[in-house]
Amino acid sequence: MKLSTVVEDYCLRRDVTDLYQYQLDYAVKQLALHLGRQPTIDDLQAKLISQWLRDEQRAGRLGDRSRRNIRASLITIAKAARIPLDVELVRQVKVAQRSPEAWDFSELRRVCDAAASLPGTLGNGLPRGRYMSATLWFCFETGLRRRDVTLFDVQRFGPDRRAALTQNKTGRVHVVEITQSTYDDLHWLADRLQVAGDPNWRTPLRWPHHWSAFYHWMARARKIAGVDAASINRALQHIRRTGATAVECEEADSATKYLGHRSGGSLAWSSYIDPRKVRRTVMPPAVRPDVRSRSESDDATRGTGNPRASSQAS
């Protein structure tokens, strides 16, 4: 059986996102390029995968992070095909940690303002600018992941603009709160969809197109705002990092709760909090001597030609 067929069957049986299915398909494609043919379940062997990972490392065609993701995807495909793959024998991929990057609040506000100015309408009739602005602010204020953002039911909110939801990825209940302006925007979008007879009016942040289109308009907003215009990976995940960094600046160890993580603060610091923007610094409690006083003392010492005489005079 071809691995592409295994992936297709797996994604039909499991509730996976389009992005995750793309990652699995990408792993199969890269293995096919290595083999020169379409891989089958017989190719899911620890030695073969390890050799491919080593060859790719030497060739330098793929980065360490991509190779690690492909390794994980092939292991997932092996489990789906019920192949007894010994994971311990599959070559490990070390990835150097990168410092998370986040925007300042002023940069975020400029991007959101630019998003509000985007022209045209979406396929469901919503004004593109109003939708994009509301989505970005909602993501920032709640810290939710993309899937939870786009499938959020506005009727979950109470009069205090707080809502509890079960996160799609972790299955844990998470409580969020938004500002009055974002609350009004969400309900404006929902009311417009309801009047138009859209069956998804309760989830007004649902993106009605392919996600590549969202990234296109996000990049357009950043270009208008003059914020990271030439960078990639500056969409909802980046706004989530911006929110995590902002709350960590206000209160220590608060980012984990904001993000809805199950683990401690290590994941937040390694993947979400921009250490350059957190106001707290880590350094020993020491006070350096005044530079001017020290230099004046040196001058006085050089003038006498006798260091001991200078100290006795003082």
pLDDT at residue 150 in the model? 95
Do residues 80 and 253 make contact, with C-beta atoms less than 8 angstroms apart?
A: no
* 285 vs 143, residue with greater confidence: 143
Do residues 232 and 239 make contact, with C-beta atoms less than 8 angstroms apart?
A: no
pLDDT at residue 307 in the model? 42
Using one digit for the tens of pLDDT, what is the confidence trace for 46-63? 999 999 999 988 988 888
Same domain, 81 and 187: no
Same domain, 170 and 239: yes
pLDDT at residue 281 in the model? 59
Tell me the β-bridge partners of 165. Answer: 174
Q: Which of 61, 89, 117 is the last residue of a domain?
A: 89
In angstroms, the CA 269 to CA 254 distance is 11
Orientation of helix 211-225 relative to helix 128-142, angle to 10°: 90
Q: Is 48 part of any domain?
A: yes
Question: Any idea of the CA torsion for 181, 277, 275, 133, to the nearest 10 degrees?
Answer: 30
Among 90-94, 190-194, 263-267, 300-304, the minimum mean pLDDT is found in: 300-304
User: What is the domain extent for residue 130?
Assistant: 105-271
| Confidence at 155, pLDDT banded by 50, 70, 90 | very high
Neighbours of 113 (CB within 10 A): 15
pLDDT at residue 277 in the model? 85
Same domain, 139 and 67: no
What percent of the chain lies above the pLDDT cut of 90? 60
Same domain, 135 and 196: yes
pLDDT at residue 282 in the model? 64
Same domain, 36 and 163: no
* Region 130-150 average pLDDT: 95
Q: Is 79 part of any domain?
A: yes
Same domain, 149 and 251: yes
Same domain, 189 and 229: yes
Query: How many degrees, rounded to 5, is the angle at CA 46 between CA 40 and CA 48?
Result: 60
Q: Is 122 part of any domain?
A: yes
- Give the chain's domain count: 2
Q: Is 313 part of any domain?
A: no
Residue 202 has pLDDT above 90, yes or no: yes
| Confidence at 310, pLDDT banded by 50, 70, 90 | very low
Same domain, 13 and 131: no
Same domain, 188 and 111: yes
* Region 104-127 average pLDDT: 96
**Which CATH number fits the domain that encloses residue 216?**
1.10.443.10
Same domain, 76 and 193: no
In angstroms, the CA 232 to CA 222 distance is 11
Using one digit for the tens of pLDDT, what is the confidence trace for 261-283? 877 767 788 888 888 888 655 66
Do residues 188 and 138 make contact, with C-beta atoms less than 8 angstroms apart?
A: no
Same domain, 78 and 223: no
pTM for the complete prediction? 0.71
Residue 20 has pLDDT above 60, yes or no: yes
Tell me the β-bridge partners of 177. Answer: 162
- Is residue 164 helix, strand or coil? strand
Q: Which of 37, 55, 89 is the last residue of a domain?
A: 89
Q: Is 224 part of any domain?
A: yes
Question: Which token pair is 12?
Answer: 């039909």
Those residues whose C-beta lies under 8 Å from the C-beta of residue 66, and which sit 6 or more positions away, are none
